[in-house]
Amino acid sequence: MADYAIGDIQGCYSDFMRLLDKLQFDPANDKLWLAGDMVSRGEDSLATLRFIKSLDSSSVACVLGNHDVSLIAMHYGLLKPHSSLKPIMKATDREELIAWLSTQPFIQVDKARKICMAHAGLPPQWKVKTAVKYSAEIQQALQSDDVKRWLKKVYGDSPKKWKKSLTGYDRHRYILNAFTRMRFLKNNGELTFNHKYSPKQLKKMKHQATRMKYIPWYAYKNRKNTNYCILFGHWASLGFYQGNNVIGLDSGCVWGNRLSGVKLDDISAKTKAISVSCDRAK
């Protein structure tokens, strides 16, 4: 028996299957933790989603990423479908797939092993136990009869700074963005969506003001969730990353790099990625 965490699949079904073969994944005994962005851009998002949905809940623990939420919004006619997602839009089981996807949380937690997973990570102001409550808030909205209106209202970039006093759509918009879109923070703790660079790439930029202005969320001082190892995806330019008691799992498969996972039973300061190449053009 083994538990494995895998980064952003993004519809790269054949690469996903090859990684599962390499892991010798047995759904009868093993469990997958999937870091979100299960669909979009890859060659077969429909097969990917169908396979994950087919697994028993004891064999898979998912979190929603920004592309997964966008697929739900596309289902309700709020966004134009990406070309790679049109097969899902035409699928006879589309309603079932979207209904299942809408029940998935934004955070998974293993209290015994002090491990949690969220697609983009956790803001430094949040403890893990409060992040679970915030996930439940927006998960409830995502499953409500008013989901179409909710999705329409929560798309946006503001507010960018967390306050417990936030209410309504502003509160939910921040929570959704933090779970699914966060990479860098400004010095004052605000979310910023200006850059998809890696921290190393940002350091090479010419303007010192730009370099000093942005901090990776996991490197922010006085982070309140360092008591858990946080697994996340979303940051392809970062690649597989370990440090600050976090593990970044998005190694850019959909961009022709690698699809990576780790064995959760072996989490340590020197955890190594288990990966397969994704070297064809996407």
Taking the alpha carbons of 121, 237, 186, 173 in that order, is the dihedral positive or negative?
negative
Over residues 187-205, mean pLDDT: 84
Beta bridge partners of 31: 3
Percent of the chain scoring above 90 in pLDDT: 85
Pairing label, strands 229-232, 246-248? parallel
Q: Given the DSSP bridges, would you call strands 274-277 and 258-263 parallel, antiparallel or unpaired?
A: antiparallel
- The pLDDT score that the predictor gives to residue 210 is 59
What are the tens digits of pLDDT across the range 28-64?
999 999 999 999 999 999 999 999 999 999 999 999 9
**Dist CA 268 CA 149 (whole Å):** 43
Identify which has the larger pLDDT, 216 or 81: 216
pLDDT score, position 213: 80
β-strand 184-186 against 115-117: which pairing, if any? unpaired
Q: Return the pLDDT at 82.
A: 87
Model pLDDT, residue 48: 98
CA distance 209 to 133: 36
pTM of the model: 0.95
SS3 29: coil
| CA–CA gap between residue 95 and residue 164 (Å, rounded) | 35
How far apart are the C-alpha atoms of 210 and 83, rounded to whole Å? 35
pLDDT at 281: 45
pLDDT digits (tens, 9 = 90+) for 61-102: 999 999 999 999 999 999 998 899 999 999 999 999 999 999
Question: Three-class SS of residue 7?
Answer: coil
For position 282, what pLDDT does the model report? Answer: 43
The pLDDT assigned to 211 comes to 57
**Top CATH class, 3-277:** alpha beta
* Window from 39-48, 76-85, 127-136, 196-205 with minimum mean pLDDT: 196-205
pLDDT at 209: 52
Q: Residue 280 pLDDT > 70, yes or no?
A: no
Instruction: Tell me 91's DSSP state.
Output: -
Question: What is residue 268's predicted lDDT score, i.e. its pLDDT?
Answer: 77
Q: What is the mean predicted confidence (pLDDT) over 214-232? A: 95
Are 181 and 120 in contact, with CB atoms under 8 Å apart?
yes
Alpha carbons 40 and 74: distance in angstroms, whole number:
12
Q: Is the pLDDT of residue 14 over 90?
A: yes
